[in-house]
């Protein structure tokens, strides 16, 4: 028990024992030491803050790179091993009204080089120049041309190479890093140059077009429509590009196909054009080396059957890019092949305008069906004399006779009674002086002169003598062949003016109908049925009577109604006594003929312009006859009508129609 108490006391004493020995020396911390201790504490704290800050920056940067910008840097990493190329879609096909292919596509092979080509050097360029049969300087020029375009766009070294070159390049790929074959569609023209101004052509996109296009739609070197429907309906025809993604190694060689997006072909067009009739029109114009236009429309719908401009373009010259020499030849050609004369050619209408003057005179009441004027071969207005084309005169003629024989003096009388402004009013009702709205590029409006127009244009008052020249289609009058054909169709169908139609329908690659075009009425001549019937009778006489000026258009078994016209190009006294064939080509008169058939139940209207053809009856009417014969060939077979015999010209006029 005693021992237990001793041990307990010992433990208590130890618990109360001071930490320091009472006899030990004590060391006090000075103020200096205390400050130094605080300094080290603060320094340690600052270091910790800096470390924490840098660690936070590192974490946030890693978060930014991997989370915020992860996709971007993954793409950059992939770009070192993945290359994508755009796949050009086939353009839409173009068919005629009967479903016959006018323009389709074929595969062609281009040689392209990737921009990332690490193996590009003089040796590679020399190899490619040798393979392609080109100078190195030519290839360098093509490479420099692509400077400034996006890096993923390959450099096109050659286009449409033959199969032997394709095989050689593919068999030697290991020696040609970054070089590959690109398969692209190329246009095929199944009817050669027929309807060339309607179809148009393709060309390489220029800088202005590239800037104006939506982002990503085109790239440098793409082919786009430059003229005709190829340009007007570019958005429908072009399709949508596809993509192919390929894995490449460090040398630029393609290793394997990764994935792709198929290109979407363009939409197909079905036209109203009948290529059989188009061929007849263009062949006869070309065979006689004629410049001008031939237009044919359905009388009761306005659908175009023929839209021929001569001379035609050589469409194959534009495939792959036309040469400077060939382009300059087109620009210098005096027959202007680059102009679509159907809608861009503006000409005085000559005596075909007498149809307008006749309708205006009847509608305004200044003449009646029985009105007769005497033609002595001239007409006097003050101290001026206006001559008839027939110097001996036509004698006393009524309206039908005046139309049939194209008497100038008769229509001088009508024009003076009307005045230019009333004449202009009816010309505008028949569609002159404004665009028709047809699906053709660059259509012109023509010109219907008025007194106010002359004052605005020339700051001079209208002269009464100018009304006389306008009344017979000379002077300031300007029309396009299409406008004249639509007027003829309006007379034929009883007074309905249609908007001419060229595109029947648009379908997507699956055949689904995208757009269907129906006949559109632009205007009506109300209350003119009797007057139009009278004019039709005059046109029938012009073709079928003994003294008619349009006899060269006559068909056995089909009654044709028409009107000839000769438009003065320039009035020069030095040519007055020359034979017409001796007058320089550019000064010769233009020849017109416009008609419809069958006269009893009209179906088709045809208008022909022959530039510098001199006489409508001899130069233009036979062309119209050929088109009509092709249109009615099945019906003519039943009547036993012989093959087309070209007019000798004896049925034409001596100096006018």
Residue 523, pLDDT score: 94
d(CA 32, CA 352): 122
Q: Give the confidence band of 576 by pLDDT, cuts at 50, 70, 90.
A: low
Please tell me the distance from the alpha carbon of residue 473 to that of residue 348, in angstroms, as a whole number.
6
pLDDT of 269 reads 97
Cα dihedral sign, 123-124-130-133: negative
Confidence category of residue 36, pLDDT binned at 50, 70, 90: low
User: What's the mean pLDDT in 272-282?
Assistant: 97
Phi, psi of 140 (to 5 degrees): -60, -40
Examine the pLDDT at 29 and tell me if it is beyond 60. no
Among 30-44, 326-340, 440-454, 618-632, the least confident range? 30-44
pLDDT of residue 644: 45
User: Does 83-145+155-251 match 276-311+340-639 in CATH topology?
Assistant: no
| Burial letters 263-289, b for 16+ CB under 10 A, else e | bebbbbbbbbbbbbbbbbbbebbeeee
With 70 as the cut, is the pLDDT of residue 435 above it? yes
pLDDT at 115 over 90: no
Confidence band of 650 (pLDDT split at 50, 70, 90): very low
Give dist(CA 434, CA 168) in Å, integer. Answer: 58
| pLDDT tops 50 at residue 648 | no
pLDDT in tens, 82-109: 777 788 899 999 999 999 999 999 998 9
- CATH H-level, domain 276-311+340-639: superfamily: DD-peptidase/beta-lactamase superfamily (3.40.710.10)
pLDDT for residue 562: 96
**What is the per-residue pLDDT across 415-428, written as a single tens digit (0 to 9) for each?**
999 999 999 999 99
- Rounded distance between C-alpha atoms, residue 464 and residue 384, angstroms: 11
Report yes or no on whether pTM surpasses 0.85.
no
Contacts of 401 (CB under 8 A, 6+ apart): 394, 407, 538, 541
Confidence of residue 139 (pLDDT cuts 50, 70, 90): confident
Strand partners, 261: 243
Question: Could you tell me which residues come within 8 angstroms of residue 437 by beta carbon, excluding any fewer than 6 positions away?
Answer: 443, 499, 500, 522
524: tokens are 């009506």
Of residues 124 and 482, more confidence is placed in 482
The alpha carbon of residue 281 and the mean position of all alpha carbons in its chain are separated, in whole angstroms, by 22
pLDDT of 653: 41
Query: Above pLDDT 90, what percent of the chain?
Result: 53
What residues are labeled active site? 351
The beta strand positions in 292-400, using DSSP E, are: 292-298, 304-310, 373-375, 378-381, 384-387, 395-397
Domain boundaries, the chain: 83-145+155-251, 276-311+340-639
pLDDT in tens, 337-372: 899 999 999 999 999 999 999 999 999 999 999 999
Lowest mean pLDDT of 74-78, 280-284, 429-433, name the range: 74-78
Asked whether the predicted pLDDT for residue 23 surpasses 70, the reply is no
Of the candidate ranges 139-153, 202-216, 352-366, 549-563, the one whose mean pLDDT is the lowest: 139-153
Of 56-65, 323-332, 336-345, the range with the lowest mean pLDDT is 56-65
More confident residue, 567 or 398: 398
Among the listed ranges 260-264, 401-405, 621-625, which one has the minimum average pLDDT value?
A: 260-264
Q: What is the pLDDT of residue 73?
A: 59
In a 13 Å sphere around the CA of 211, the CA atoms on its Cβ side amount to 3
**What pLDDT is recorded for position 78?**
56
pLDDT > 60? residue 208:
yes
pLDDT for the residue 35: 65
Mean pLDDT for the chain overall:
85
- Please name the residue that has the structure tokens 């879609």: 89
First and final C-alpha spacing in the chain = 161
Pairing of strands 496-499, 254-261: unpaired
Confidence of residue 253 (pLDDT cuts 50, 70, 90): low
| The predicted structure's pLDDT at residue 71 | 66
Give residue 32's pLDDT band: very low, low, confident or very high (50, 70, 90): low
Asked which of 191-205, 521-535, 642-656 is least confident by mean pLDDT, the reply is 642-656
pLDDT digits (tens, 9 = 90+) for 596-616: 999 999 999 999 999 988 888
Which CATH number does 83-145+155-251 carry? 3.90.1310.10
303, 438 Cβ separation under 8 angstroms: no
Top-confidence residue, 644 or 640 = 640
């Amino acid at each position: 028990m005693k021992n237990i108490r001793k041990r307990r006391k010992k433990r208590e004493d130890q618990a109360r024992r001071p930490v320091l020995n009472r006899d030990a020396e004590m060391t006090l911390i000075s103020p200096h030491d205390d400050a130094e201790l605080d300094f080290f504490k603060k320094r340690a704290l600052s270091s910790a803050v800096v470390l924490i800050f840098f660690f936070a920056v590192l974490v946030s940067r890693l978060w930014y790179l991997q989370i915020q910008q992860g996709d971007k840097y993954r793409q950059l990493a992939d770009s070192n091993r993945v290359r994508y190329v755009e796949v050009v879609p086939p353009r839409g096909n173009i068919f005629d009204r009967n479903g016959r292919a006018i323009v389709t596509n074929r595969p062609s092979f281009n040689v392209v080089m990737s921009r990332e080509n690490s193996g590009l050097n003089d040796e590679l360029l020399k190899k490619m120049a040798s393979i392609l049969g080109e100078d190195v300087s030519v290839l360098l020029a093509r490479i420099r041309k692509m400077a400034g375009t996006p890096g993923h766009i390959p450099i096109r070294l050659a286009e449409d190479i033959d199969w032997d070159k394709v095989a050689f390049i593919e068999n030697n790929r290991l020696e040609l890093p970054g070089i590959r074959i690109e398969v692209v569609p190329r246009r095929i023209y199944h009817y050669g140059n027929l309807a060339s101004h309607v179809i148009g052509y393709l060309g390489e996109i220029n800088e202005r077009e590239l800037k104006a296009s939506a982002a990503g739609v085109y790239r440098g070197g793409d082919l786009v429509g430059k003229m005709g429907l190829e340009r007007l309906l570019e958005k429908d025809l072009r399709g949508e590009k596809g993509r192919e993604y390929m894995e490449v190694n460090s040398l630029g060689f393609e290793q394997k196909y990764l994935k792709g997006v198929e290109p979407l072909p363009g939409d197909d067009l079905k036209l109203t054009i009948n290529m059989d009739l188009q061929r007849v029109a263009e062949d006869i114009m070309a065979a006689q080396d004629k410049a001008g236009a031939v237009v044919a429309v359905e009388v009761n719908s306005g659908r175009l059957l023929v839209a021929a401009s001569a001379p035609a373009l050589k469409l194959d010259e534009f495939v792959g890019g036309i040469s400077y020499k060939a382009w300059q030849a087109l620009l210098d050609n005096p027959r202007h092949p680059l102009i679509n004369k159907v809608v861009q050619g503006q000409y005085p209408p000559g005596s075909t305008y007498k149809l307008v003057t006749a309708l205006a005179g009847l509608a305004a009441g200044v003449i009646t069906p029985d009105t007769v004027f005497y033609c002595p071969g001239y007409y006097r207005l003050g101290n001026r004399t206006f001559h008839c084309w027939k110097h001996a005169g036509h004698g006393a003629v009524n309206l039908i006779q005046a139309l049939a024989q194209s008497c100038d003096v008769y229509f001088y009388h009508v024009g003076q009674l009307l005045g230019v402004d009333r004449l202009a009013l009816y010309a505008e009702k028949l569609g002159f002086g404004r665009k028709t709205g047809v699906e053709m590029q660059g259509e012109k409006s023509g010109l219907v002169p008025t007194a106010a127009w002359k004052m605005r244009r020339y700051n001079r008052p209208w002269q009464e003598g100018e009304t006389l020249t306008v009344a017979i289609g000379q002077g300031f009058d300007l029309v396009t062949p299409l406008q004249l054909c639509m007027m003829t169709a309006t007379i034929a169908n009883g007074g309905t003016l249609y908007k001419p139609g060229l595109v029947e329908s648009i379908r997507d690659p699956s055949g689904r109908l995208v757009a269907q075009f129906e006949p559109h009425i632009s205007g009506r001549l109300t209350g003119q049925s009797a007057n139009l019937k009278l004019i039709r009778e005059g046109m029938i006489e012009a073709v079928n009577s003994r003294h008619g000026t349009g006899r060269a258009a006559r068909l056995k078994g089909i009654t044709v109604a028409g009107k000839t016209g000769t438009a003065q190009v320039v009035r020069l006294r030095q040519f007055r006594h020359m034979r017409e064939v001796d007058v320089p080509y550019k000064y010769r008169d233009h020849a017109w003929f416009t008609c419809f058939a069958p006269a009893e139940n009209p179906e088709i209207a045809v208008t022909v312009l022959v530039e510098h053809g001199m006489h409508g009856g001899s130069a233009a009417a036979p062309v119209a006859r050929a088109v009509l014969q092709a249109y009615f060939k099945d019906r003519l077979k039943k009547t036993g009508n012989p093959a087309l015999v070209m007019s000798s010209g004896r049925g034409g006029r001596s100096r006018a129609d």
